[in-house]
Amino acid sequence: MTADQLVAAAIKARSGAYAPYSKYFVGAALAATDGRVFTGVNVENASYGLTICAERTAVTKAVSEGALEFDAIAVVTENGASMCGACRQVVSEFVARQGRDIPVYFADPTGAYSETTISALLPGAFTPGSLDD
């Protein structure tokens, strides 16, 4: 799947976000190595600590359906912002398991995006291997 296709999937997903408090709607699309794409949205809660980000929703959906290896993730916000630290950690868990980095695309609703990697976003991540050290 191309970056543009993955960003388009995240843009489409974003329309389903539940953000009545922040009004900050986020969509994510996660490309599994087996060709499937898992989308997610942010789901806010009046008890703010129970809110889940779009990226973690996509990862949770993927894992619940047996996908544990990923090729890329796209995140769409109103201003093309980066993912939070918790999402970086969750995605890095699976990147570390597969032994290779993946691209991350941050886009706005027009589809304009920037590209980075999980390791660039979270250098020195705490990974499954950290438990063995």
Q: What is the CATH number of the domain that holds 108?
A: 3.40.140.10
Count how many domains the chain has. 1
Q: How confident is residue 44, by pLDDT bands cut at 50, 70 and 90?
A: very high
Q: Which residues are catalytic?
A: 55
Whole-model pTM: value is 0.95
Q: Nearest Cα to 13, choosing from 58, 50, 70?
A: 58
Query: Residue 55's domain spans which residues?
Result: 3-131
The strand pairing partners of 72, in sequence order, are 31
Q: Is 7 helix (H, G, I), strand (E, B) or coil?
A: helix
DSSP type of residue 132: T
Which residue, among 48, 1, 56, 47, has the nearest Cα to 27 in the 3D structure?
56
Question: How far apart, in whole angstroms, are the C-alpha atoms of residue 115 and residue 133?
Answer: 31
Cα–Cα dist 31/35, whole Å: 7
Query: Is 123's pLDDT higher than 70?
Result: yes
**Residue 133 pLDDT level (bands cut at 50, 70, 90):** low
**Mean pLDDT across the stretch 100-110?**
97
Q: Classify strands 103-107 and 70-76 as parallel, antiparallel or unpaired.
A: parallel
Position 125, amino acid:
A
| pLDDT, position 128 | 86
Q: Which DSSP helix (H) or strand (E) runs through 69?
A: none
